[in-house]
Amino acid sequence: MDHGGSDWELMGALFQALLFLWPLWMLLVLPAGGRLLLAWYERRRLLRSGIGEIDRMDGLTFEQYLVGLFRRLGYQVERTRFRGDYGADLVVRKAGARTVVQAKRSRGRIGVRAVQEVVAARRYYGGLHALVVTNSHFTAPARALAEANGVELWDRERLIAALLHVRH
């Protein structure tokens, strides 16, 4: 007895069911593929940025690295003394405006102390602007204090964006 025809009919019916259900398959496959693609892109972006190198630096090396970064961004850069710097690590100037910069290379979140220091340093160094740069993130109180005092914050993502900008 020949069952060849029924096998073809069964396969045809299965194929029709798969065609009918393709939107469901896409809902299952696309998010997983999208997450993989996003993870690959983020890893590639981080490798290109040099943030891994920054994460291994000590504080003084990070300050020196920022000197080069700000110069590539078009700023004139002046370093302050390593000790007794009154809360500023760099004073950068662009279009006549002075910005006092506090650099914080850290594994943990950056708190209000960094913001307090750069607020005091802005007045001491005669800066129009104040900025805290970190390879990490800021606590909510630090963000609130920065906003209240007009202090710009560069967290990890903003630093990576600057690094990538000068690499092009």
Q: What's the rounded Cα separation, in Å, for the pair 88 and 76?
A: 15
According to the model, what pLDDT value does residue 45 have? 57
pLDDT the model gives residue 22: 67
Instruction: Tell whether 121 and 41 lie within a shared domain.
Output: no
12, 30, 49 - which closes a domain: 49
H or E, element range at 16:
helix 4-20
Question: Are 26 and 56 in a shared domain?
Answer: no
Q: Are residues 115 and 137 in the same domain?
A: yes
121-153 pLDDT tens trace: 999 999 999 999 999 999 999 999 999 999 999
Rounded Cα distance between 118 and 103, Å, is 10
Query: Whole domain around residue 129: which residue ranges?
Result: 52-167
Share of the chain above pLDDT 70, in %: 82
* CA torsion, ordered 22, 26, 27, 31, to nearest 10 deg: 170
Shared domain for 79 and 145, answered yes or no, is yes
**Between 99 and 82, where is the model more confident?**
99
CATH of the domain at 57: 3.40.1350.10
User: What is the predicted pLDDT for the residue at 66?
Assistant: 95
Give yes or no for a contact between 142 and 151, defined as CB atoms under 8 angstroms apart. Answer: no
pLDDT, mean of residues 87-100: 95
The pTM assigned to this predicted structure is 0.73
Residue 55, pLDDT above cutoff 80: yes
Same domain, 27 and 110: no
> 76 and 155 share a domain?
yes
